[in-house]
Amino acid sequence: MMRAALNLIGEEATLVVWLTDLLMDYQAIIEEIHGEALALKGQGRVATYIPALAAVDPARFGIAIETIDGGIFAVGDAAEKFSIQSISKVFNLALGISLVGDELWHRVGMEPSGNAFNSLVQLEVENGLPRNPFINAGALVVTDVLLDHLKRPNEEMLNFVRKLRCSEIFYNEEVAASEKATGFTNTALVNFMKSYGNIHHEVDEVLDVYCHQCSIEMTCAGLCRSFLFLANGGVVPGSGERVLTSSQTKRINAIMLTCGFYDEAGQFAYRVGMPGKSGVGGGIVAVIPGELAIAVWSPELNDRGNSVIGMHALEQFTSRTGMSIF
Binned average pLDDT, 10 residues per bin, the chain of 326 residues: 40 43 77 95 91 91 97 97 97 98 96 88 93 97 98 96 89 94 95 97 98 97 97 96 97 97 92 97 97 98 95 97 94
Confirm whether 280 is a catalytic residue.
Answer: yes
Q: What are phi and psi of 269, to 5 degrees?
A: -60, -40
| Enclosing H/E stretch for 286 | strand 283-288
Q: What pLDDT is recorded for position 10? A: 45
* Catalytic position from the list 108, 113, 210, 243: 210
Q: What pLDDT is recorded for position 7? A: 40
Q: What pLDDT is recorded for position 155? A: 96
Confirm whether 86 is a catalytic residue.
Answer: yes
Confirm whether 180 is a catalytic residue.
Answer: no
Question: Residues 206, 144: contact at Cβ < 8 Å?
Answer: yes
* Identity of the amino acid at 87: I
* Catalytic position from the list 280, 285, 296, 308: 280
Domain range annotation of the chain: 29-321
* Catalytic position from the list 46, 75, 83, 86: 86
Question: Residues 74, 64: contact at Cβ < 8 Å?
Answer: yes
* Catalytic position from the list 89, 180, 194, 277: 89
| Enclosing H/E stretch for 173 | helix 173-182
Q: Could you tell me which CATH number the domain at 29-321 has?
A: 3.40.710.10
d(CA 16, CA 224): 25
Q: What pLDDT is recorded for position 3? A: 36
Q: What pLDDT is recorded for position 16? A: 42
Confirm whether 247 is a catalytic residue.
Answer: no
Q: What is the pTM of this model?
A: 0.91
* Identity of the amino acid at 105: W
- Side-chain-side CA neighbours of 137 within 13 Å: the count stands at 32
